[in-house]
Amino acid sequence: MAADAAQSRNTGWRNAIILILIWEIVGRLDLIAGGALPSLSEILLRLWVDRADYPQHVIATLYASGLGFIIGNAIGILAGIIFALSPTTLRLFRGVNIAIFALPPIAIAPILVLTLSGMAPRVVLATLGVYFVTMTATVIGLSQTDKRTSDLIQAYGGTSWTTLRLVQLRGALPTILSAFRIAAPNAVLGAILAEFGGGGRWGLGTYLLGSLGRGEPDRLWGIGLTATAIAGLSYLGFALLSNRFLGATRAVTLNAATPDDATPTKSVGHNFLLTLGTIALPLTLWWAYIKLSGVPDLISKTPWGVIDYLFLGKTAAVAQAKLLQALAETLPITFVGMALGLLFAFLLAICSRLFPQAIKAFMPVALVTQTMPLVALTPLLVLMLGRGTSLTLWVTISVTFFPAFVTLAQGISLVPRGTQELPRAYGAGPWTEMRMVTIPASLPYLFAATRLTVPRALLGVMIAEWLATGKGLGNLLNQSRGYLDFGMIWSVAAVSVLVSIILYQLVVIAERRVLRRFGMQTAE
Amino acid sequence: MTLSLNRRHFLSTAAAAAAASMVPKGAFAATPLTMQAAWINDAEFAGYFLAMDEGYYTSEGLDLTYLSGGPDVIPESTIIAGRADLALTTPDTTIKAIADQGAPFKIIGAQYQKNPIGIVSLVDSGINSPADLVRKTLAVPPVNVISVEAMLKLNGIEAGAVNIVPYAYDPTPLIKGEIDASLDFTTNVPYTISQQGAEATSFLLYDFGYTTYNDTVVVTEDVLKNKRAELVAWLRASRKGWNENFIDPAVWPPKWADTHFKGTGRTIDNEIFFNGAQQPLMETPSGIFSMSEDDIEANLSALGEVGIVGSRDMFDTTLLEEI
Q: Which residues of B touch A197 (CB under 8 A)?
A: 70-73
pLDDT digits 0-9 by tens, A55-105:
999 999 999 999 999 999 999 999 999 998 888 999 999 999 999 998 889
Closest C-alpha among A53, A118, A49, A55 to residue B261: A53
pLDDT digits 0-9 by tens, A288-326:
999 998 888 888 999 999 999 999 988 899 999 999 999
The C-alpha atoms of residue A115 and residue A117 are separated, in whole angstroms, by 7
Q: Is B172 at the interface with chain A, CB within 8 A?
A: yes
The C-alpha atoms of residue A319 and residue A302 are separated, in whole angstroms, by 17
pLDDT of amino acid A366: 80
Nearest chain B residue to A118, by CA: B7
Contact criterion met (CB < 8 Å) for A482 and B142: yes
Where along chain B do its domains lie?
A: 2-114+212-322, 117-208
Nearest chain B residue to A117, by CA: B7
pLDDT at B20 over 60: no
pLDDT at B1 over 50: no
Cβ-Cβ contacts under 8 Å for A108 (sequence gap 6 or more): A125, A128, A493
| Residues in B 287-316 with any Cβ partner in A closer than 8 A | none
Burial class of residue B258 in the structure, from the number of CB atoms within 10 Å of its CB (0-12 exposed, 13-18 middle, 19+ buried): exposed
User: Quick check: helix, strand or coil at residue A253?
Assistant: coil
Q: Are strands B117-122 and B200-204 parallel, antiparallel or unpaired?
A: antiparallel
Give the DSSP letter string of A206-224: HHHHHHHTT--HHHHHHHH
pLDDT digits 0-9 by tens, A368-419:
777 788 888 888 888 889 898 999 999 999 989 988 888 888 788 777 778 8
The arrangement of secondary structure in B2-114+212-322, i.e. its CATH architecture, is 3-Layer(aba) Sandwich (3.40)
What are the strands of the beta sheet with B31-36, ordered from one edge? B62-67, B31-36, B86-89, B214-220, B105-112
Distances (CA, A) of A365 to A19, A37, A239, A463, B64: 9, 14, 19, 20, 47
| Residues in B 14-73 with any Cβ partner in A closer than 8 A | 39-42, 67-73
The C-alpha atoms of residue B4 and residue B7 are separated, in whole angstroms, by 8
CATH superfamily of this structure's domain A33-247+267-295: MetI-like (1.10.3720.10)
pLDDT at A480 over 80: yes
pLDDT digits 0-9 by tens, B95-108:
999 998 899 999 99
pLDDT at B292 over 50: yes
Q: What are phi and psi of A386, to 5 degrees?
A: 75, -165
pLDDT of amino acid A51: 94
Contact criterion met (CB < 8 Å) for B172 and A383: yes
Cβ pair B95, B310 in contact under 8 A: yes
Sign of the CA dihedral running A394, A398, A400, A401:
positive
The mean pLDDT value for A255-282 works out to: 71
Closest C-alpha among A410, A414, A380, A413 to residue A395: A380
Nearest chain B residue to A219, by CA: B265
- Mean pLDDT (chain B) is 90
Cβ-nearest to B8 among A34, A118, A208: A118
Confidence of residue A153 (pLDDT cuts 50, 70, 90): confident
The mean pLDDT value for B176-190 works out to: 93
Q: Which residues of B touch A199 (CB under 8 A)?
A: 4, 39-40, 67-70, 72-73
Contact criterion met (CB < 8 Å) for A198 and B72: yes
> If phi over 0 gives left and psi between -120 and 50 gives alpha, with beta otherwise, what is residue B61?
left
Confidence of residue A140 (pLDDT cuts 50, 70, 90): confident
CATH superfamily of this structure's domain B117-208: Periplasmic binding protein-like II (3.40.190.10)
Closest C-alpha among A47, A25, A48 to residue A37: A25
pLDDT of amino acid A1: 44
- Rg of chain A over all Cα atoms, to the nearest angstrom: 24
Residue type, A290: I
Cβ pair A400, A369 in contact under 8 A: no
Confidence of residue A194 (pLDDT cuts 50, 70, 90): very high
Burial class of residue A52 in the structure, from the number of CB atoms within 10 Å of its CB (0-12 exposed, 13-18 middle, 19+ buried): exposed
pLDDT of amino acid A261: 44
Q: Which residues of B touch A220 (CB under 8 A)?
A: 170
Confidence of residue B186 (pLDDT cuts 50, 70, 90): very high
pLDDT digits 0-9 by tens, B152-176:
999 999 988 999 999 988 899 999 8
* Other residues' Cβ atoms within 10 Å of the Cβ of residue A242: 19
pLDDT digits 0-9 by tens, A103-124:
889 889 989 998 998 899 999 9
How far B68 CA lies from chain A's nearest CA (Å)?
A: 6
Residue type, A481: R
* Other residues' Cβ atoms within 10 Å of the Cβ of residue A424: 13
Confidence of residue B315 (pLDDT cuts 50, 70, 90): very high
pLDDT of amino acid B270: 95
Residue type, A206: T
Contact criterion met (CB < 8 Å) for B166 and A295: no
Q: Which residues of A touch B70 (CB under 8 A)?
A: 113, 196-200, 206, 209
* Helix (H) / strand (E) containing B62: strand B62-67
Confidence of residue B29 (pLDDT cuts 50, 70, 90): confident
pLDDT of amino acid A7: 66
pLDDT of amino acid B230: 97
Buried-state track B44-62, b at ≥16 Cβ within 10 A, e below 16: bbbbbbbbbeeebbbbbbb
Q: Euclidean distance between the first and final Cα of chain B, in Å?
A: 27
The C-alpha atoms of residue A57 and residue A249 are separated, in whole angstroms, by 40
Cβ-nearest to A478 among B142, B263, B266: B142
Closest C-alpha among A147, A479, A366 to residue B93: A479
Cβ-nearest to B143 among A199, A207, A482: A482
Confidence of residue A519 (pLDDT cuts 50, 70, 90): confident
What are the strands of the beta sheet with B181-185, ordered from one edge? B163-166, B137-140, B181-185, B117-122, B200-204
Write down how long chain B is: 323
The C-alpha atoms of residue A387 and residue B163 are separated, in whole angstroms, by 11
Confidence of residue B13 (pLDDT cuts 50, 70, 90): very low
The share of chain A scoring above pLDDT 70, in percent, equals 94
pLDDT at B22 over 70: no
pLDDT of amino acid A377: 85
pLDDT of amino acid A373: 83
pLDDT at B194 over 70: yes
pLDDT of amino acid A163: 79
pLDDT at B21 over 60: no
Q: Which fold has domain A301-524?
A: MetI-like fold (1.10.3720)
* Other residues' Cβ atoms within 10 Å of the Cβ of residue A47: 18
Q: Which residues of B touch A61 (CB under 8 A)?
A: none
Where along chain A do its domains lie?
A: 33-247+267-295, 301-524
The C-alpha atoms of residue A100 and residue B292 are separated, in whole angstroms, by 51
Choose, out of B10, B65, B169, the residue to mutate when testing the contact with A (most A CBs < 10 Å).
Answer: B169
Q: Give B119's DSSP letter.
A: E
Sign of the CA dihedral running A229, A234, A235, A241:
positive
Contact criterion met (CB < 8 Å) for A484 and B97: yes
Please indicate whether the domains covering B2-114+212-322 and B117-208 agree at the CATH topology level: yes
Confidence of residue A219 (pLDDT cuts 50, 70, 90): very high
The share of chain B scoring above pLDDT 90, in percent, equals 79
pLDDT at A437 over 80: yes
Q: Which of A77-81, A162-166, B163-167, B198-202 has the lowest mean pLDDT?
A: A162-166
pLDDT of amino acid A429: 84
pLDDT at A247 over 60: no
- Mean pLDDT (chain A) is 86
Cβ pair A231, A239 in contact under 8 A: no
User: Who has greater pLDDT, B263 or A361?
Assistant: B263
User: Who has greater pLDDT, A158 or A426?
Assistant: A426
pLDDT of amino acid B15: 44
Q: Which of A154-163, A223-232, A474-483 has the lowest mean pLDDT?
A: A154-163
Cβ pair B89, B75 in contact under 8 A: yes
Choose, out of A59, A201, A208, A221, the residue to mutate when testing the contact with B (most B CBs < 10 Å).
Answer: A201
How far A99 CA lies from chain B's nearest CA (Å)?
A: 22
The share of chain A scoring above pLDDT 90, in percent, equals 42
Contact criterion met (CB < 8 Å) for A375 and B96: no
Instruction: Quote the ipTM score.
Output: 0.87
pLDDT of amino acid B173: 92
Cβ-nearest to B192 among A57, A213, A387: A213
Give the DSSP letter string of B246-315: HH-TTTHHHHTTTTTTTTSSS-HHHHHHHHHHHHHHH--TT-TB---HHHHHHHHHHHHTTT----GGGB
pLDDT of amino acid B213: 97
| Residues in B 206-265 with any Cβ partner in A closer than 8 A | 262-265
Q: What are phi and psi of A433, to 5 degrees?
A: -60, -45
How many alpha carbons fall within 13 Å on the CB side of residue A187? 31
User: Who has greater pLDDT, A362 or A485?
Assistant: A485
Cβ-nearest to B170 among A119, A215, A296: A215
Contact criterion met (CB < 8 Å) for B192 and A117: no
pLDDT at A22 over 50: yes
